[in-house]
Amino acid sequence: MAVRSESASPQPPRILVVDDDRRAASALAQWLCGLGWHAAAAATPAEAARAAARGPFDVCLVDAALSGGDAAGVAACVRPAGVVALVPAGAVALPTWSDAVVPLPFRDDALLAAIDTARAAAAERGTAQRAGVIGRHPALERVLDVVDRIAHTPATVLITGESGTGKSLLAREIHRQSGRPGRFVEVACGSLAESLLESELFGHVAGAFTGASADREGRFLQADGGTIFLDEIATASPAMQVKLLRVLQSMEFEAVGGGRTHAVDVRVILATNEDLAALVAAGKFRADLFWRINVVSIEVPPLRARSSDVPLLATEFLRRAIPRAGRPVEGFSSAAMDALVAHAWPGNVRELEHAVERAVFLGRGPFIEPADLPAAIVHGPLPSDRSDGPAALKTALAAPERQLIVRALEQAGWRRDVAARALGINRTTLYKKLKRLGLDVAALEPAR
C-alpha cells in the first residue's frame, strides 16, 4: 500500500477510528469505507500516532474512555484533523479536546452529522501552510500563533533554530502578514566580509573606496517601508554590531563615505543558529545589541521534533520536483514513507527537500521506494567513533581537512576572509569548520 502524493488523482477523505476494542474499531472503519471514506483503525495511542505520522487524516473518531485515559493525547497528535469523541450515553462531562460528540451506542445519522461538524471545524482551523511554512504539528502551530500576534506590530523579531529549519520562510511570513507596503529584503550577513557588509547594508558614495565608481543604495534604504531580514547575525563583527545598534535605536545611518544621514521606516527581523546568550556571556556578542534585538524571540523547532509533519513536507516537495523530473511519480511507497518519518533529519527541512528531489530524479518506478532515498535515511547514519572499531569517515577526513585549512590560512597571512575565498567557502562556513576541528587560529598564528 502506498501513500500517494497530491499530484495523484483525488483521494477520498481519510478517517481514523481509535478504540481499544480492536474488533469494534475495524468494523466501524469498514462501514465508513463502504460510504466512500479511506478509513483506518487503531487500538492504542501508539498505533494512532504511527498512523498519523504516515499521512494526515481529515477526521478522527476517538473512544473517550480509551484505556490509559489518553484520548486527549490522540486528539493532539492528529490535529488539525477534526475530532469526534465517542462518549458513554448520559455522560455529564463532555471532552473539551473534541470538535463534536456522539453518545454510544451511536445512531448512523448522528455519527455522520458529527463527522461533518468535525470536518468543518478542521477546515476553519486550516493547515499551517503559509508562505511555504508547511506543518500541522502543535510545536509549529505555536510558532505561527506568535507570528499571527506580532506580525502587525513594529516589534523587532529574533528567529532562532538549527540550520535548515526554515527561518527565512518564517521571516517572509511575518512580512506578508504585516501589511507593510515596502519590500522584503534579505541579507546573508555571514557570506560577506565586514567592509562589504557595511556597504551592502548602508550603501556607499562614489569614491568611498577603491572600486566605488558610483553611488550605491544600501539594503536598509531598499527596505524602507518594508522589512529587512538579517540572517546569520551572530557573525557580525564587533564594529558592525555597534553600527547595527545605532540603526536599530534611531533608524538612521550614513552611507559609507557619505555625510548625509538617512532616516528609514524598516521592520527588522534577525536570525541565527547560534546561542546568542552564550556568545554574550563569552564576550563575543554585545549585550546591549542582544537585548535590543531580543524583543520577540521565536525558536523554530527542528524537524525531528515534529516528525508527524514529514509526510506533508515530503508530499509538497514531491509535487514541486515532479515537473522538473520529466516523469510521472504517483507518490511514496509505505516503506519509503516510514523511512522518511523515522529519520532524525540533522539537516532539517532542507535535507528532506534534497532527499525527495534526489529520489524523484534517480528513481524509475511510479512510486518512490526506499532504494531511491539516500542510504543514511534508509539504513541510518554511520556508527559514531568507537575505540574498538574502525574510525568513521568523518573522523578519517578531519586530519586532511585540518591541514588544508591551516595551509590556506598561512598563505593568506592568517586572514580568515582571504583563506575562505581560497578554499571556495564563505567566512561563516570557515568559522564553523574551525570550531568543529578545534582549531584556535590565534594560537596557531606566529607571534609578531
Lowest average pLDDT, out of 50-64, 141-155, 156-170, goes to: 50-64
Express each pLDDT in 81-124 by its tens digit: 889 988 887 665 567 778 888 888 888 888 999 999 888 887 76
**319-333 in b/e burial notation, b at 16+ Cβ within 10 A?**
eebbeeeeeebbbbb
pTM of the model: 0.61
Q: From start to end of 125-189, where are the E strands?
A: 128-130, 133-135, 157-160, 184-188
CA–CA dist 318, 367 (Å, integer): 11
Query: What's the gap between Cα 192 and its chain centre?
Result: 24
Q: Of 49-53, 68-72, 347-351, where does the model show the most confidence? A: 347-351
pLDDT at 443: 57
CA–CA dist 238, 39 (Å, integer): 59
**Three-state DSSP class for residue 339:** helix
Structural domains present in the chain:
2-126 (3.40.50.2300), 138-299 (3.40.50.300), 303-379 (1.10.8.60), 393-444 (1.10.10)
CA–CA dist 87, 119 (Å, integer): 19
Is there a contact between 424 and 430 (Cβ–Cβ < 8 Å)? Answer: no
**Percent of the chain whose predicted confidence (pLDDT) is above 70:** 84
Express each pLDDT in 381-428 by its tens digit: 544 444 444 445 555 566 567 767 877 887 777 788 888 888 888 888
417 CB contacts (<8 Å, ≥6 apart)?
193, 427
Cell numbers placing 385: 567513533
